[in-house]
Amino acid sequence: MALTDRLLDAWYKGHPALTLLRPLEALYRRVVNGKRARFVAGEGDIYTAPVPVIVVGNITVGGTGKTPLILWMIEHCRQRGLRVGVVSRGYGAKPPSFPWRVRAEQDAAQAGDEPLLIVKRTGVPLMIDPNRSRAVRALLADEPLDLILSDDGLQHYRLARSLELVLIDAARGLGNRRCLPAGPLREPVERLRSVDALLYNGALVDRDDGYAFTLKPTALVNLKTGDAHPVDHFAPGQAMHAVAGIGNPQRFFNTLEGLHWRPVPHAFADHAEFSAEALAFTPALPLVMTEKDAVKCASFAAPDWWYLAVEAVPSPAFVSWFDTQLTRLLP
């Protein structure tokens, strides 16, 4: 088991050795609390965009479903006639320079897997830069926009925001509720009191403190041809190799099992790089991966490689709340 896997296991299931990390956690808390306090006080170089900025983030390490929700938000805002742009750190991306405008014809090594997925799916104007304030400025210089969505960036306190949405994995929750490195939290749990909305990925009903949303499988897409097939393309009981290089691979494997297939799980690190050799599994079976992984594998895909397309389905209460916020921000 890799070190990161052991840490995740300890954070969410408990381990007495984590107490040894409490002094480092205390130091980490002081640093992040200081950054937050300076932001609230208006100190430092904080950029306020001329259009609303909505941050979609989390306080836990690992995936919580931000990309599917952002895809939903892009489409929902467009249906209201809004011109939407997206900024992202572009984790793992290696463009010639920053800020960098992501285009659909670029490869994931240059653009980053999640930004490339978003652009391929929607064609939305998207700029990557570890400095999200600089990304917003560059995007507004390129495009006339009404609204900007920030993919992650909750802790990027050089960028002012109009709304903060925080996503939480409903199954895993906040683990031991401690900050790094003693736990999975990027900021203390008290930070959740100051955000505008919590969304629980995988919850079937709204909670007292937040809204529910689920990820609905919509199609099986062949990496080689791009052809989309219904999710019943494979019969119940079909065995397959399942590949997931995301923050919580088990959620993907559970989804495949929920479709009554028999996945052979192959978990990779989040944002992992792939090769044909690394995915040459035996026995020979169809291979199904996430869409985020597929953008990195299309160039060397075998004929029986597929990705499972999913879409976020937020609760009606969240949709109503979000529409109210859009009306308030964009009268």
Mean pLDDT by 10 residues, the chain (331 residues): 74 94 97 97 96 97 92 98 97 95 96 96 98 97 98 96 97 95 97 98 97 97 97 96 93 96 95 94 97 95 97 98 97 78
Q: What is the pLDDT of residue 296?
A: 95
Q: What is the pLDDT of residue 4?
A: 72
Q: Report the alpha-carbon distance of residue 314 to residue 201 in Å, rounded.
A: 9
> Which residue from 203, 208, 228, 204 is spatially nearest to 218, judged by alpha carbons?
228
Q: What is the pLDDT of residue 2?
A: 56
Q: Report the alpha-carbon distance of residue 145 to residue 18 in Å, rounded.
A: 46
**Cβ atoms of residues 201 and 54 within 8 Å:** no
Place of tokens 């683990």: 175
Q: What is the pLDDT of residue 5?
A: 75
Q: Report the alpha-carbon distance of residue 186 to residue 13 in Å, rounded.
A: 18
**Which residues on adjacent β-strands are paired with residue 149?**
54, 86
> Which residue from 81, 103, 74 is spatially nearest to 90, judged by alpha carbons?
103
**Cβ atoms of residues 157 and 46 within 8 Å:** yes
**Cβ atoms of residues 154 and 27 within 8 Å:** no
> Angle formed by the axes of helices 113-122 and 66-79, to 10°?
30
Q: What is the pLDDT of residue 286?
A: 98
Residue boundaries of the structural domains of the chain: 3-212+314-329, 216-312
**Cβ atoms of residues 210 and 167 within 8 Å:** no
Angle, alpha carbons 130-131-137 (nearest 5°): 130
Q: Report the alpha-carbon distance of residue 92 to residue 31 in Å, rounded.
A: 24
**Cβ atoms of residues 65 and 167 within 8 Å:** yes
Place of tokens 């490339």: 116
Q: Which helix (H) or strand (E) holds 299?
A: none
From first CA to last CA, the distance across the chain in angstroms is 52
Q: Report the alpha-carbon distance of residue 198 to residue 192 in Å, rounded.
A: 8
Query: Could you tell me the two tokens for 82?
Result: 């809004």
CATH 3.40.50.300 describes domain 3-212+314-329: yes
Q: What is the pLDDT of residue 1?
A: 44
